[in-house]
Chain A
Amino acid sequence: MQFALLIYEPPEAFASRKSDGTDPYTGAWRAYHKALVESGVFVAGDPLEVPETGTTIKIREGKRGVQDGPYADTKEQLGGFTILELPSLDAALEWAARCPAASYGVVEVRPLAPHTRRRITG
């Protein structure tokens, strides 16, 4: 089954994106990604641009509300996601624990919802 690792990072982790790529955090990510691919569990994934680049929109009673910035006002912000193919939640938690973001931010593990997907896509 497939699991999404939702990666929440603190500001310092986002700041490391401006580095030349030799910082330990980026190095750890490079190695982690390689391990995921070589172990045959990686399905998809991408980092997201920094939270300040987000724009949030909602429509209530016909009125549009647009806001700069991310939806949730928390210290850790969604910084990316990875989708993995694994036999169980236990295995997904193992890989989540190895994720470099788990040491500095938070990694949420969520199963994808194929049933809901089928209801929508028919």
Chain B
Amino acid sequence: MSGSDSDEEKVHRTVERVARESYGRLVAYLSVHTKDLAGAEDALSEALLKALTAWPRDGVPQNPEAWLLTTARRSLIDFFRHQRVVLASEPDLLLLTQNSAEATLETNFPDERLKLLFVCAHPAIDPAMHTPLMLQTVLGLDAVRIAGAFLVSPKTMGQRLVRAKTKIRDGGIRFEAPEQEELSPRLDAVLDAIYAAFGIGWDDVAGVDQRGRDLTEEAIWLARVLLQLMPNEAEVCGLLALMLHCEARRAARRARDGRYVPLSEQDPKLWSHPLIEEAERHLAEAAKYGRPGRFQLEAAIQSVHAERGRSGRIEWTAIVRFYEQLNRISPTIGRRTGYAAALAEANGAEEALAVLDTIDQGAVSSYQPYWAVRAHLLQLLGKGPEAQHAYDRAIGLAEDPAVREFLLQKRADFSS
């Protein structure tokens, strides 16, 4: 009895593994002609369900991915037939059937995930939906999980995903990788979407709000897929390097008692050295192309921080220079705040505060890192009441209880 139980568990695990590894490839391949992402996903989940009954009974097939593809395709074709598709869709059906014949002969099918990634981050789709679409169609995450990570109600997230997929199906969006002349902006959107899943801000002396989205693994997975599909893009290497550097510090971000530890006080012995080495390899690879970009610069900043593990000190002037370049490319509030924090270390708090003062007040009213850095700088300059006020704001806007307590402690330390 227990033997069959564990067999069943084994099959479950196999299904899970195949689903995780092949989900995006299968959805991409099934939808590339029909453009019907929802249909492809439904067919695939049906196939996965069938696998859960068929595989324990008949044994796991030699090529589980091909089995899932054939099964999913069969239910797609049934669905099309059942719908008595209008004439306009007949070519789709024909294509689908033709491909089906190919697939029975061939277990190797083309990887269409690159097209799928570009569709998810298409300019015609609401940018806020780029990441959720990717997480769902490429990785198979459900709407509830995505909603939690993005702080949206699950019902709303479900509706937005359905709407985006309808637009992809009916809106004339083409399933293709962009041509060279429009590649750069289109690739930027894909990279932004992957980074948005990662969702971590930046570490700083003042202790800022890190929106842990609990999707860091998924984001790194997506970046690896993208790198595999576009091995010669410097910014793809840069993005992966950036995320690996941040991920390398996971264990060092909290003390044993759960206290928040800012980056500059982290114990480098707790950093993951294999991840740092991998990040450095990707960053060096990116540099070979001689095409600097946002993600390479962000990764370079993290690389300077990682260097402290060897040298024992942080080269703040190098970080300032990288931020200057970043702000020339695109001066977001986050980057200007980061620039100010680095400038304070390199040239003193006064100069840094002047930078913060140039940022539009309306834009930062609920941007937590700005207030955390501002409080820190005002404290360094001995401006007590103003610093208290900024600390209050940073504490009030913080989401993470560890960061909140860290800032409360800093506020208490200097007011006493």
Contacts and interface: CB of A to CB of B under 8 A. Distances in A.
Interface string A72-108: 0000000000000000011001100110101110000
A35 B393 contact: yes
A61 interface: no
Contact of A35 (B153, B366, B405, B408): B366
A66 B2 CA distance: 54
B393 A97 contact: no
A34 B152 contact: no
B170 to A, nearest CB: 26
B104 interface: no
Nearest to A109: B153
Interface string B146-189: 00000111001000000000000000000000000000000000
Given A27-B408, A90-B151, A90-B152, A34 B401 contact: no
Nearest to B401: A103
A31 interface: yes
Contacts of B391: 31
Nearest to A104: B401
Given A35-B392, A90-B151, A97 B399 contact: yes
B385 interface: no
B396 interface: yes
B398 interface: yes
B405 A38 contact: no
B398 A38 contact: no
A36 B395 CA distance: 12
DSSP class of A's interface residues: helix, strand, loop or mixed?
Answer: helix
A98 B398 contact: yes
Contact of B392 (A22, A30, A100): A30
B396 A89 contact: no
A50 interface: no
Contacts of B399: 97-98, 102
A39 B156 CA distance: 25
Interface string B128-154: 000000000000000000000001110
A90 B152 CA distance: 6
A103 B412 CA distance: 21
Contacts of B412: 22, 27
Nearest to A32: B396
Contact of A27 (B151, B156, B395, B397): B395
Contact of B151 (A31, A34, A36, A93): A93
Contact of A24 (B152, B153, B405): B405
Contact of B396 (A31, A90, A94, A97): A31
A34 B391 CA distance: 11
A17 interface: no
A9 to B, nearest CB: 14
**Most chain A Cβ neighbours within 10 Å, of B365, B366, B405:** B366
Interface in B350-402: 365-366, 391-401
A39 B401 contact: no
A94 B404 CA distance: 16
B395 A28 contact: yes
B396 A93 contact: no
A93 B404 contact: no
Given A24-B408, A28-B408, A98-B398, A39 B392 contact: no
Contacts of B408: 24, 27-28, 31
Nearest to B155: A89
A53 B113 CA distance: 60
Nearest to A40: B365
23 contacts: A24-B404, A28-B396, A28-B408, A30-B392, A31-B408, A34-B396, A35-B366, A35-B392, A35-B393, A35-B395, A35-B396, A89-B153, A89-B156, A90-B156, A93-B153, A94-B151, A94-B366, A98-B396, A98-B397, A98-B398, A98-B399, A103-B400, A104-B401
Q: Which 7 A-B pairs have the closest CB atoms?
A: A35-B396, A31-B395, A31-B396, A103-B401, A32-B396, A31-B392, A27-B408
Given A28-B408, A38-B365, A98-B399, 5 more contacts: A27-B411, A31-B394, A33-B396, A35-B393, A93-B151
Interface of A: 22, 24, 27-28, 30-36, 38-39, 89-90, 93-94, 97-98, 100, 102-104
